[in-house]
Structure 1
Amino acid sequence: MRLVLVGPPGAGKGTQAQFIAAQYDVPQVSTGDIFRANVGQSTPLGLEAKRYMDAGELVPDSVTIAMVEDRLLQDDAAKGFLLDGFPRNVAQAEVLDTLLERAGTSLDVVLELVVDDEEVVRRLSGRRTCSSCGRVWHVDFDPSSVEGQCDHCGGTLFQRDDDKPETIRRRLQVYAEQTAPVVGFYAERGLLERIDATGTVDGVTARILAVLRRFDR
């Protein structure tokens, strides 16, 4: 199984990606993990990426693509992979097509997790983080027994800047601007499957598996 998973922040991509990767015994290839691994191991690509990051600049597509290509050439990705966070734009999608064609393979499917913006804001803005132990609670889904206090260690709970509604809406806007062309790119090629990402985690997983069964080899 070779697939790409896309979806806005708060859609549950991380949870579903882990489950799909385990279910199909393929590596979850996350650009964030690749960056951390290359920078942490001081690989040539990692050192080049760090140079841009330290200067406060965006890492060029060429470096990101080279890291992804290197990861997909590793043995555990030979029978399949789940890409999470890549491609982020049409140029990267076109390069991915070329890389896979060169390897004599192609994507099976692109899954888009679809969730309403206001639901994303509710999911993310309700998070509260403990200032002492870092445990994350949620005012609706997993509240602490005493408002503003961590049940685990008694620390004070706070809302991170990233979890404030105005910040989340800006992130959603950026996501839509960057990802809409990629979604369109794959829709035109008949590879896109849209998944309703509202409801329970198990319910979303069931909808994903129903779609993926059509691509089982």
Structure 2
Amino acid sequence: MLDPADIGKVLVVTAHPDDIDFGGAGTIAAFVDRGVEVVYLLATSGDAGGFDRTVNAEHMAEIRHAEQVAAAKQVGVTDVRNLGYPDGMLEPTLALRRDIARVIRQVRPDLVITSTPERNYARIGPSHPDHRAVGGATLDAVYPDARNPYAFPELLNDEGLEAWTVREVWLIGSPSPNHYVDITTTVDRKLAALRAHETQTGHMPDLEKMVKTFLANHAIQAGLPEGSFAEAFLVVPTG
């Protein structure tokens, strides 16, 4: 596993606005506090999210982009990118792999964080088809696409993007996590980021209790002291 001191850049690749905030905003806040550069890449516009049926898909996408920018600000992230694929229709295609590989070569991160491509039978939420699609495509973009100069040659020949090897991947929502990050000092910023997603969390009066209960259970699994909170990941070496 990477030494935290060796992580200078992190790329977070998720399907929807709010995915990273539910899965890892406390960890991102801790990275930013240490001076790590973090970039968010959203695969979809989030146009199929929300509960207000008077809002059309185009306007919903605009709202959710603004919510993600506001949420990112809560944890110190200013670079938020969006590939604009339709929400709810994501597939791990060659086109999606190329688009993610492009951003990997642009950002040149040490660590990539993305959703697990596994189906979680214990808890269905992480198994949204878009989550699994972006996780699979991102893993394929990490290996072999981004590191192989012969993969998607137009990225090098037309855009000048040299191959790049990501050193490690952390998966959100895995049914078998093997790494826990203590976010006790950043949990309030995670909650602030989640509240910024008004279309997704505004109907949840018990949001704080729900989130803290979930994070406290992770802390117990990690062996942290009582009163701690943690986020969970499956670490995937790329070497």
Which bracket does the TM-score occupy, shorter chain normalised?
Answer: 0.3 to 0.5
> With structure 2 as the length reference, what TM-score do the two structures score?
0.35
> With structure 1 as the length reference, what TM-score do the two structures score?
0.37
| The structure with more helix, counted as a fraction of residues | 1
